[in-house]
Structure 1
Amino acid sequence: MKKSDFRYDLPTELIAQHPLAARSASRLLLLPPAPAPLEDRAVRDLPALLAPGDLLVFNDTRVIPARLFGRKATGGRVEVLVERVLDGNEARAQLGVSKPPAAGSELVLDDGTRVAVLGREGEFYRLRFESDEPLEKLLKRIGRMPLPPYMTREPDAADAERYQTVFARAPGAVAAPTAGLHFDEALLAALRARGVEFGHITLHVGAGTFQPMRAEEFKDHVMHSEWLNVGASLCERIRAAKARGGRVVAVGTTVVRALESSFRDGEVRPFAGDTRLFLFPGKRIRSVDALVTNFHLPESTLLMLVSAFAGYERVMAAYAHAVRERYRFFSYGDAMLVFPEREGGTDATAHDSRLH
């Protein structure tokens, strides 16, 4: 398969520019086990679509206000998007600038903070912020929420809350784990009452998630790196869910990426570190039994991941249905609940009997 196989036509007006009034008010496209047909549902239906004993796994990363503005010492304007905070007040960042700055040059942020350009690492720059103030505190003081590039507006006060999950606790992401944005306290309470259990991983979503896949052939694509942590307590929760016949339901592609990166010797094991895992059709996903996910950009690695899980033809047909039915797309858009295409492909047995 090639990148162009994942192209689809999306009217611009279907790209959600603002969140709905309530997090859980979004629509939900159900992609049940084959050969059952698609169903147009609502996110608030999730308690009825899951079963007692199922385990929902969330990404608890917290988006940092990673967007900064300033100028080069020579005078040109520059936008800084921090990709990852490093030790010593250093950071890996993308720069929006007319002419790339050389190593050894300097930037000056709008508040006067000086930033040394240490060098370039591929599409990212290594920067050092010359301030006695810790970088995390500096970002909190002057940084802006880094809305995705397909949102054609500046962030407003509401985004500080809504472009953040209600369970976010580990700062470090520059993009939200968007499937988690649909869950509010009322929905979480309804899921608990249903007997669904919760677990968490941390994967700090990087700016690389928005980078276009430039190579046509999968073998030529260099996947971006993201840091993750899968703890021992979650691994125990997964084992317990499997033992009682429950399903592991990933909330978002970042959870799938984290669990698959931690999958060894037939099970998910504790792991903390970077991953460059690239999942596409032909790669077997073994760690989860179902997936809650938003709709992803054409030709994106996230769309390829969903297709690896549920089957290319089924997923592309579902996207065509979503366009026809005017679903809302991308970060503030609607969601899907996806089950594997093949029976037993992820230890997913008896799915049909547990769909209501």
Structure 2
Amino acid sequence: MLSPIHIEDYNYELPDEKIAKYPVEPRDSSKLLLLKNGEISSESFSNLVNELPPKAHLVFNNTKVIPARLYFRKETGALIEIFLLNPVSFGGEISQNMETFGPVVWQCMIGNKKKWKTGALRREFEIEGQSLEVSAEITDTEKNLIRFKWSGNEITFASLVKAFGEIPLPPYLNRNTEEKDLETYQTVYSEKEGAVAAPTAGLHFTKNTFAELSKAKIPTSYITLHVGAGTFQPVKAGNALEHDMHSEQMVFNKEFIKKLIENHETVIPVGTTSMRSLESLYWFGVKLIKEQENSVFQIPKLYPYQWGNQTLPEPKEALQAIDKFLEEKQVKQLTGSTEIFIFPGYQFRICKGIITNFHQPKSTLLLLISALIGEKWKEVYDFALQNKFRFLSYGDSSLLLP
């Protein structure tokens, strides 16, 4: 039986002026808070490579933010906002939904829904000189499922949303999306389209940072977790354990698994999304070993906490089980989903630290940081507030090594 987690214990005062509304330029000129050997200090992010521990292996999330906010206007003049959440067609596989040329169905949030009861919404747009039309129609009013269809046989859904969608900035920035955000709210290594929020810990990295990592022979790897809107959902339950954790889709390739087996001793994820993915990967290995008939890569919210004092596989053993599974299935890619909830009391299996921004009060991400560094989080955040660090998505960075 898990003890209650009182979310008020993870509250702190965050003045609005501490929230970065815009990023610094260049990206790597941001500040870096360093927690190392129990000591807290202030550095420049451009000095990151010199502060990484020996044999560090950095793991990045290469998801790419899509312009998930779409606007349609009814013939009556009413403006309807559609926010893409999760695809339903093609078994919910995000990359297939983004790359298809045909109709797709997505679960969405609908703004001004009371003005849109029935019928299709239509909008004309232009791609490469072609005038095309897209229609949106509700197929399930209760679940907010919307089918999108469009003219043009060689136009993918990804191209469609790029043509007239808007990048959805985090609500706490409290401003409209600007043209510059199309560039600054993507990591320089973003590749796999499907996220509705950026893995913001990676926003500080530049081509120069990667050149320095390469020069220092620090291994870098990439996984994909498509960040969902649930990442911004505050914990409203007094006992955080009652919070409904959102599910996010992850993709790992076989080469990454093999590389991780060889370099698993000092894994430093870049961002909480990479951390959640890596820890979820370990638990899939546990599933394969402990529940041999269960080969579904889906990690429920409290799965890690059900094992009590049982002896569990070492990280390398769990990863080798996954490698063997991929060999037997003769597949080169592993796709899964996770609701994993990492909070104080969690024992990290893969990750030995983290590069991350500063998170909202009473958030699941702050609970994750507390799980990693314990009550030290309060000192870290006090130091950041007192030393003019910038907070949240466009804010400064930290390297936390417990």
Q: Which TM-score tier does this pair reach, normalised by the shorter chain?
A: 0.7 to 0.9
Structure 2 distance, partners of 1:260, 1:121, is 34
Contact 1:52 1:195 in 2 (8 A): no
Which residue of structure 2 aligns with residue 321 of structure 1? 383
Structure 2 distance, partners of 1:186, 1:296, is 26
Structure 2 distance, partners of 1:121, 1:199, is 40
Larger Rg: 2
Structure 2 distance, partners of 1:2, 1:239, is 37
1:180 CA drift (Å): 0.6
Contact 2:66 2:193 in 1 (8 A): yes
Provide Cα deviations, 1:13-56, integer angstroms capped at 9, x if missing partner.
111111111111110111124xx221111111211112453210
Unaligned 5+ runs, structure 1? 341-356
- Larger mean CA deviation between 104-113 and 158-167 belongs to 104-113
1:132 CA drift (Å): 3.1
**CA 1:278/1:110 → structure 2, altered by over 3 Å: closer, same or farther?**
farther
* 1:186 match: secondary structure: helix
Question: Among 11, 14, 22, which residue is 2:18 paired with?
Answer: 14
**CA 1:105/1:219 → structure 2, altered by over 3 Å: closer, same or farther?**
farther
TM-score by length of 2: 0.77
Unaligned 5+ runs, structure 2? 90-102, 126-132, 287-313, 324-333
Give % identity. Answer: 38
| 2:349 counterpart of 1:334 | no
Question: Among 102, 117, 137, which residue is 2:138 paired with?
Answer: 117
**CA 1:287/1:74 → structure 2, altered by over 3 Å: closer, same or farther?**
farther
Provide Cα deviations, 1:301-321, integer angstroms capped at 9, x if missing partner.
11111111111x101221122
TM-score by length of 1: 0.87
Contact 1:51 1:196 in 2 (8 A): no
Structure 2 distance, partners of 1:330, 1:119, is 35
Contact 1:92 1:127 in 2 (8 A): yes
Structure 2 distance, partners of 1:214, 1:241, is 39
| 2:136 counterpart of 1:127 | no
Which residue of structure 1 aligns with residue 272 of structure 2? 253
1:325 maps to amino acid: N
Contact 2:134 2:151 in 1 (8 A): no
Instruction: Note the 1:51-90 alignment, pairs <5 A.
Output: 51=53, 53-71=55-73, 75-87=77-89, 88-90=103-105
**CA 1:216/1:154 → structure 2, altered by over 3 Å: closer, same or farther?**
same
Instruction: Note the 1:258-297 alignment, pairs <5 A.
Output: 258-263=277-282, 264-265=285-286, 266-267=314-315, 268=319, 269=322, 271-297=334-360
| 2:296 counterpart of 1:234 | no
Contact 2:120 2:137 in 1 (8 A): yes
Contact 2:10 2:361 in 1 (8 A): yes
**CA 1:121/1:170 → structure 2, altered by over 3 Å: closer, same or farther?**
farther
Structure 1 distance, partners of 2:197, 2:150, is 25
Structure 2 distance, partners of 1:310, 1:73, is 55
* 2:263 match: secondary structure: helix
1:145 CA drift (Å): 1.2
Provide Cα deviations, 1:247-271, integer angstroms capped at 9, x if missing partner.
1110000001101111034324464
1:61 CA drift (Å): 0.5
- Larger mean CA deviation between 68-77 and 216-225 belongs to 68-77
* 2:80 match: secondary structure: strand
Contact 1:73 1:105 in 2 (8 A): no
1:188 CA drift (Å): 0.9
Structure 1 distance, partners of 2:86, 2:151, is 19
Structure 2 distance, partners of 1:325, 1:39, is 10
* 2:114 match: secondary structure: coil
1:327 CA drift (Å): 0.7
Structure 1 distance, partners of 2:278, 2:344, is 17
Structure 2 distance, partners of 1:99, 1:182, is 41
| 2:236 counterpart of 1:214 | yes
**CA 1:121/1:259 → structure 2, altered by over 3 Å: closer, same or farther?**
farther
Question: Among 138, 146, 154, which residue is 2:168 paired with?
Answer: 146
1:218 CA drift (Å): 2.4
Structure 2 distance, partners of 1:171, 1:38, is 36
Which residue of structure 2 aligns with residue 96 of structure 1? 111
Structure 2 distance, partners of 1:113, 1:288, is 44
**CA 1:121/1:6 → structure 2, altered by over 3 Å: closer, same or farther?**
farther
* 2:355 match: secondary structure: strand
1:282 CA drift (Å): 1.4
RMSD: 2.1
| 2:314 counterpart of 1:310 | no
Provide Cα deviations, 1:49-68, integer angstroms capped at 9, x if missing partner.
12453210000101111111
Structure 2 distance, partners of 1:142, 1:18, is 23
- Larger mean CA deviation between 90-99 and 283-292 belongs to 90-99
Contact 2:80 2:116 in 1 (8 A): no
**Structure with a larger share of its residues in helix:** 2
Structure 2 distance, partners of 1:252, 1:127, is 31
Which residue of structure 2 aligns with residue 343 of structure 1? none
Equivalenced residues, count: 331
Structure 1 distance, partners of 2:387, 2:54, is 31
